[in-house]
Amino acid sequence: MICLDNKRRIHVGATARNKSNGSGATMVVIKRVSIIGSGYMGSGIGMASSRGGYLVTLMDIHADALTKALRRIRARLQEVYVDEEDKIQEVLQRIRTTTSLEEAVKDADLVIEAVTEKLGIKQQLFKLLDTLSSSNTILASNTSSLTITEIAAEVSERRKTQCGGLHFFNPISLTDIVEVVPIAETSNETLDLLMSYVKGIGKKILKCKDTPGFIVNRVFVAYTGQTFQMLERGDATIEDINTAATFVRKMPEGAFARWDNIGLDVVLCVLENLHERLPEGDIYKPTTFLRELVAQGKLGRKTGEGFYKYDVSEDGDVPAMI
């Protein structure tokens, strides 16, 4: 996962890039997609984009994170294309990696950020992307709880017409919808291109207003908060809540295994953001128990322990619950 801080500086050397249809009019066609952040969501977006035929650049400031991301993508592709190595190679060949933000965005038609769910980090990244990217590049955020308006607050007025949200759901290879979120300044052309991209990767479009949590998470995370609060009050055990979840929400893995799959640090960030921003905020108030797990580094499947313990494989992925 990429993490930018105030001490990090990137020297700007990119110049504006225009595409022409031969008559002098500018045309934008999404062919090259860059994803910033190579964690579970970033690598999943990269895989989905490549499977859709797009040329993908996956960027992370940590080279080892990119190595793990490629291993993770290959493992997922082996599940999708059983005994079809030629198709796996075809998808992988459309993905390149880099640790340079400037290199990642210089030819991109669409840049999707998938970094940690912290407003300051996302705002700083969008400001850098505005400076480094081509004049025609569309900037999108995969945020799950912040508004796109907040994230794009410091970009130029012209760039705001090329900003929007693309909220994917984990695991991306098994979910079939993407929330597409325009802001007040988003142009019709940008919105059309974002929706065309989503269709191009074989997903259904759920168009949303730019509100915290959009549509799915406003419902889903309220339920999340209730499961944590019931557990902390001692109203029910993890096993009982999971049994209810499999019945009510059709979650085969149960509620707490679901949170482990997402990452408890991500869940905590989402709950904090919605708790601060929504009128029904107490529904989303994080519990002490969740905070303690995150403070202890027990983040779920990706660290080998959360509400459950997991068997961590060599490539950093986690295949099964113990």
Residues annotated catalytic, as ranges = 144, 167, 179, 217
**Cα–Cα distance for residue pair 259/314, rounded to 1 Å:** 22
Structure token digits, residue 267 = 């869940």
End-to-end CA distance of the chain: 26
Closest by CA to 138, choosing from 159, 167, 113, 153, is: 159
Q: Which residues pair with residue 139 across a beta bridge?
A: 111, 163
CA angle 190, 184, 222 (to 5 degrees): 100
Q: For 244, list phi and psi in degrees, rounded to 5.
A: -65, -40
252-259 long-range contacts, CB within 8 A, separation 24+? 255/224, 255/227, 256/227, 256/306, 256/307, 256/308, 257/307, 257/308, 257/321, 259/224, 259/227, 259/300, 259/306, 259/307
For residue 286, what is the DSSP state? P
Which position has the token pair 């012209």?
158
Q: How far is CA 284 from the centre of its chain?
A: 20
